[in-house]
Structure 1
Amino acid sequence: LNPQLVSMIVSHLKTQGLFDQFRRDCLADVDTKPAYLNLKQRVDNFVSNHLSNHTWSPHLNKNQLRNNIRQLVLQSGMLEQGVDRIVAQVVDPKINHIFRPQVERVVREFLSPGSCSEEPLAPLPPVEPRPDSSIPEPGTEQSYPVCISHAGYVCFFAFCHPDFVYGKR
């Protein structure tokens, strides 16, 4: 895939409000999921235990204490594991049935403006990218199924991982 094209598609998806909609959909029910409740409880207990070892005084540097706790929580690995579980419970169930069809529709519209009907299209099967495959420029006459599927996944991955740069590992 052309990294510049991926960037253009991601920008287009953002301007369509799709990522904001996905974010709202996921955040709407995250606090009801067991993984979130478990992580919240673990972090609360961790912070309470840490604070129990400190004696409050008017001269206590609260900012330094807060930053210290933040670093300890990050170093513990509990956030990373907890967030992975939250994603598995909140995002994963929505990927194939909700997010993927919407991303594919917008990618189709972007790559072939005016050629998409208003009827929902059947989702494309997952396709492994070929090393020699590339996506042509938007609006050119060519069939897109393999490219759309791969572009959709790359765009969705870029949305989920803001630090993602296509082509770099």
Structure 2
Amino acid sequence: MTALPPGDPQLVSMIVSHLKTQGLFDQFRRDCLADVDTKPAYLNLKQRVDNFVSNHLSNHTWSPHLNKNQLRNNIRQLVLQSGMLEQGVDRIVAQVVDPKINHIFRPQVERVVREFLSPGSCSEEPPAPLPSTETKPDSSVTEQGT
């Protein structure tokens, strides 16, 4: 595996498959979806789409013969053509995903990639040693002869 050069499409594909089997993508998706509905960008987009649909429906008179599927597809196409979804999703990503990339997602991905590229050789990194506040054993005994 490590014989492939960095960036090789086969290596990238193998790493992505490994990340998926580890469940990282699903975990990231759950983490982001848990936050999405509380963010202003999502609430704003939802309001804009609701208003757009309401305005469009106000121009139609309901009747038992109304083709609801055709109307639904027409509204879907109009929403897609308006560009509001693309802009709204970009804002949602900026508010939900971007803050998590460097502090949450990247360290987990880097750990799994290291383990994938060198199985068994990279155990969990030990925590950095804390500065000691304890006194060292009396070293005067060993230093007396010098």
Tell me the TM-score normalized by structure 1.
Answer: 0.70
1:47 CA drift (Å): 0.2
SS of corresponding position for 1:135:
helix
1:135 CA drift (Å): 54
Tell me, in whole angstroms, the C-alpha distance in 2 between the residues paired with 1:24 and 1:138. Answer: 63
Deviations, residues 120-141 of structure 1 (Å, cap 9, x unaligned): 799999999999999999999x
Deviations, residues 68-118 of structure 1 (Å, cap 9, x unaligned): 000000000000000000000000000000000000000111111111121
The structure number with the bigger radius of gyration is: 2
Tell me, in whole angstroms, the C-alpha distance in 2 between the residues paired with 1:37 and 1:137. Answer: 70
The alignment yields a C-alpha RMSD, in angstroms, of 13.9
Tell me, in whole angstroms, the C-alpha distance in 1 between the residues paired with 2:137 and 2:37. Answer: 41
1:67 CA drift (Å): 0.5
Tell me, in whole angstroms, the C-alpha distance in 1 between the residues paired with 2:24 and 2:65. Answer: 48
SS of corresponding position for 2:140:
coil
1:60 CA drift (Å): 0.6
Change (3 A) 1:95 1:19: same
1:119 CA drift (Å): 2.3
Change (3 A) 1:18 1:138: farther
* Structure 2 equivalent of residue 119 of structure 1: 125
* Structure 2 equivalent of residue 135 of structure 1: 141
Runs of 4+ in 1 over 2 A off after TM superposition: 119-140
The answer on 1:8 being equivalent to 2:4 is no
Tell me, in whole angstroms, the C-alpha distance in 2 between the residues paired with 1:66 and 1:135. Answer: 88
Gaps of 5+ in 1: 141-169
SS of corresponding position for 1:136:
helix
Tell me the TM-score normalized by structure 2.
Answer: 0.80
CA contact (8 A) 1:110 1:138 kept: no
